[in-house]
Amino acid sequence: MKPSKSFKLALNILRHSKVRSWLTIIGIVIGVASVVAIMSIGTGMQLSLESSLGGLGADIITISPGASRTMGGFRDFGSDQPSASSSTAKNLTIKDIQALKSVENVDIVTGTVSGRGEVYYLAETTTVSITGVDPIAWNEITTSTLSSGRFLGASDYSAVLVGNRLATRSFKQPLSVNRVITIEGASFKIAGILNESGGMMGGGSDSGIIMPIEAARAVLDDVGTDEFDSIIVKVADADLVEQTMSDIDARLMLTRHVTNRTKDYSVSSSVAMQATISSTLESVTLFLGAIAAVSLLVGAVGIANTMFTTVLERTKQIGIMKAIGAKNRDIMMIFMMNSALVGLVGGVIGLVIGSVASLFVAIPMMGMGGRGMGAENVVTPQLLVFTLSIAVGIGIVAGLVPAYRASKLRPVDALRYE
Amino acid sequence: MDKTIIELKDVWKIYQMGQVEVPALRGVDLKISKGEFVAIVGPSGSGKSTMMNLVGCLDLPTKGGIYLDGHNIANLDESKLAQIRGQKIGFVFQQFNLIPNLTALENVMLPLAFQGIDDTVAEAKAMKLLDIVGLGDRVRHLPTQLSGGQMQRVSIARALANDPEVILADEPTGNLDSTTGRFIMNFLGKIHKGDSKTIIMVTHDLNLSKAAEKVVHIKDGKVEKIETIRKRGRE
């Protein structure tokens, strides 16, 4: 028999099998929907994470005070507070910068200070994160781009760069170039407004202010002279970041007279950070996906169960078909296709529901994450093909034994079955 | 003309019922020639259904040979048997045995589909056959929307679909009223004469068997006697 004909017969069986088939399909729908939702949210988070961390280039290493945690130096995550450890730990100083300048593969070394300050503009006040940088070095290092105005120059003192969100959304009147704002009582002229970077690193803080480091020291009260909240290193060869990180680590241990155990600073790079978070996220996604896959497995058992019943119910029809010339292979095909169809229909419906559901999960997360940490759902074509083939595959596997049994029925016995 | 199409040689069929062996057929010998109308008659339990299953390649004998067109089918596997059934034998059952979810047309097309024949070709042929059995206006009806006689006519059309050499009818009028039954019997007779098909009919009704040219009486798993009926029209 032609496969197309087997398919038609299989479809006929499906169309005429009532509630039971639909219940079975729902089992697959739930499994597929949860897998799709979880995987697509996971992929979405990964993508938004990558774009966030891309704010500071791949050739950047950051040294921060405070003992290293797994994500040492990842201090801007969700908050603009300088990491709690910076107040207790011994701060980084100009000596550290000098020490790092001679490390191999190091191109630029520059210190930054950061904190929070009140900004006053046209009778409105808001608190923002302030980063003090060496303009020349920062211009070399940053991946931020200007929306309008110019970058800071060496001679600037009371000029600032304003992040895009701060400029456009924080005040009733949007900030623009050459306007004067008051930060902690001192007046600053806006030199430039940065493009939105989506970044959460200091380099592209969308709702922060970047100003010359001397000005920042004057504005922020808890920053001592010659002390830095972090040191940023740009390497000459980005491929050697890992090596340079350990070189920097070794050099600082030497100059700061600490050991691995008493280390009071941490070295990190956006690349390393990204890899860590990325892999954590990936395993979480995989884990949740595996749980969802269990429900898919339950769905498969459901299909097998229904198929056994269907075969039993249609024993007589199998006998008739065999009597009028159906080969075992034909019967096998019809029931396998029926089972695969249950998988396919469940898979398609599940995909639609899963994609829609992941949208609904993604929207509140977007609100929670704020600041470009938006989790979007990403239903990739690969995910579509993958889940659909899994659903159909499950249908086929679940239908294998019932279909085989059906095909092996002896025509006499099957015909006599009532 | 007297070419043997089906021959049973010392056929035994023994069913295992738990510990007991129940012989349904005990050494049956029978020859059926091409174009014959044979009735197999016997009381229930005589083994006629078993014989019908064996002749129809639905079952295999415990012992002995069944020759269809000179080939022994007793040693064939299920797929080969299915092929033979599909091509050489058309079944007409007492309970019609149509597939309930398929229309009359689809039911008649089914044996053709199993032979791998294109849908368009199969449809044309099925339409023609349904026309012949007088159901040209009922092709899209499901079996449940047809009367018993109509269902049996659909099943006759289905039996003829692959142009088989043998039509096997198992109590073809058993579920029909006498008028409809007569109509079906006439129809089988027409097929027999018109298309010179071999017809083997199993029945317990001696009246029905009068339509046949040869009546094989089965009793206790053996051929009791074979009578040849001379027909006025045939002389």
Taking only the tens place, the pLDDT of each residue in B140-196 is 999 999 999 999 999 999 999 999 999 999 999 988 898 889 889 988 998 898 888
Residues of A in contact with B52 (CB under 8 A): none
Residues of A in contact with B100 (CB under 8 A): 317
Across the range B124-140, mean pLDDT stands at 93
Record the tokens describing residue A166, joined without a space.
């701060």
Taking only the tens place, the pLDDT of each residue in B52-111 is 899 999 999 999 999 998 889 988 888 889 999 999 999 999 999 999 999 999 999 999
Residues of A in contact with B79 (CB under 8 A): 327-329
**By the CB < 8 Å criterion, does B116 face chain A?**
yes
Instruction: Tell me the residue length of chain B.
Output: 235
Taking only the tens place, the pLDDT of each residue in A121-166 is 888 888 888 989 999 888 888 878 888 889 998 888 889 999 888 8
- Contact yes or no for B114 and A13 at CB 8 A: no
Please tell me the least confidently modeled range out of A47-51, A220-224, B22-26, B44-48.
A47-51
Please tell me the least confidently modeled range out of A81-85, A329-333, A377-381, B40-44.
A81-85
Residues of B in contact with A317 (CB under 8 A): 99-100
- What is the spatial distance between Cα A343 and Cα A396, in angstroms, rounded to a whole number? 8
- A333 pLDDT more than 90: yes
Residue A223 has what pLDDT? 75
For residue B112, the enclosing domain spans 37-46+78-234
Residue A198 has what pLDDT? 56
Residues of B in contact with A316 (CB under 8 A): 97
- What is the spatial distance between Cα B3 and Cα A237, in angstroms, rounded to a whole number? 95
Chain A residues 263-322 with CB within 8 Å of chain B: 316-317, 320-322
Residues of B in contact with A325 (CB under 8 A): 82-83, 85-87, 111, 114-115, 162
Is the separation of the CB atoms in A74 and A62 below 8 Å?
no
Query: Residue B206 sits in a domain of what CATH number?
Result: 3.40.50.300
Q: How many domains does chain B have?
A: 1
Residues of B in contact with A15 (CB under 8 A): 101
B179-B181-B184-B189 Cα dihedral, nearest 10 degrees: -100
- Cα of A300 vs its chain's centroid, Å: 30
- Contact yes or no for A321 and B99 at CB 8 A: yes
Indicate which of A324, A327, A330, A405 best probes the interface with B, i.e. most B CBs within 10 Å of its own CB: A324
User: What residue of B is the nearest CA neighbor of A17?
Assistant: B101
Instruction: Tell me the residue length of chain A.
Output: 418
- Nearby residues of B137 by Cβ (< 8 Å), 6 or more positions away: none
Record the tokens describing residue A357, joined without a space.
């559901």
- What is the spatial distance between Cα B150 and Cα B135, in angstroms, rounded to a whole number? 7
Write out chain B in H/E/C secondary structure. Answer: CCCEEEEEEEEEEEEEECCEEEEEEEEEEEEEECCCEEEEECCCCCCHHHHHHHHCCCCCCCEEEEEECCEECCCCCHHHHHHHHHHHEEEECCCCCCCCCCCHHHHHHHHHHHCCCCHHHHHHHHHHHHHHCCCCCCCCCCHHHCCHHHHHHHHHHHHHCCCCCEEEEECCCCCCCHHHHHHHHHHHHHHHHHCCCEEEEEECCHHHHCCCCEEEEEECCEEEEEEECCCHHHC
The β-bridge partners of A230 are A112
- Contact yes or no for B79 and A16 at CB 8 A: no
**By the CB < 8 Å criterion, does A126 face chain B?**
no
Record the tokens describing residue B57, joined without a space.
């390649």
In percent, the amount of chain B with pLDDT more than 70 equals: 97
- Contact yes or no for B58 and A415 at CB 8 A: yes
Its ipTM equals 0.91
Tokens 């759902």 label which residue? A377
- A206 pLDDT more than 90: no
Record the tokens describing residue A390, joined without a space.
């899994």
Nearest Cα of chain A lies from the Cα of B35 at a distance, in angstroms, of: 21
Does residue B56 form part of some domain? no
Tokens 């995550």 label which residue? A77
Does residue B1 form part of some domain? no
Give the strands of the sheet with B222-228, arranged side by side: B89-92, B166-170, B198-203, B37-41, B214-219, B222-228
**Domain-by-domain residue ranges, chain A?**
3-52+278-416, 60-236
Record the tokens describing residue A203, joined without a space.
């380099």
Q: Which band of pLDDT confidence, cut at 50, 70 and 90, is reported for residue A236?
A: confident
Residues of A in contact with B168 (CB under 8 A): none
Chain A residues 371-410 with CB within 8 Å of chain B: 410
Which of A2, A15, A326 is nearest residue B82 as measured by Cβ atoms? A326
Does residue B217 form part of some domain? yes
Does residue B64 form part of some domain? no
- What is the spatial distance between Cα A374 and Cα A196, in angstroms, rounded to a whole number? 14
Does residue B16 form part of some domain? no
Indicate which of B96, B101, B102 best probes the interface with A, i.e. most A CBs within 10 Å of its own CB: B101
Does residue B7 form part of some domain? no
Q: What is the mean pLDDT of chain B?
A: 90
- What is the spatial distance between Cα A289 and Cα B193, in angstroms, rounded to a whole number? 70
**By the CB < 8 Å criterion, does A7 face chain B?**
no
Does residue B112 form part of some domain? yes
Nearest Cα of chain A lies from the Cα of B234 at a distance, in angstroms, of: 32
- Contact yes or no for B59 and A410 at CB 8 A: yes
B141-B147-B149-B152 Cα dihedral, nearest 10 degrees: 50
Does residue B5 form part of some domain? no
Is the separation of the CB atoms in A285 and A378 below 8 Å?
no
In percent, the amount of chain A with pLDDT more than 70 equals: 86
Residue B231 has what pLDDT? 60
Cα A316-A320-A321 angle, rounded to 5 deg: 115
User: What residue of B is the nearest CA neighbor of A11?
Assistant: B101
Nearest Cα of chain A lies from the Cα of B149 at a distance, in angstroms, of: 19
- Contact yes or no for A12 and B110 at CB 8 A: no
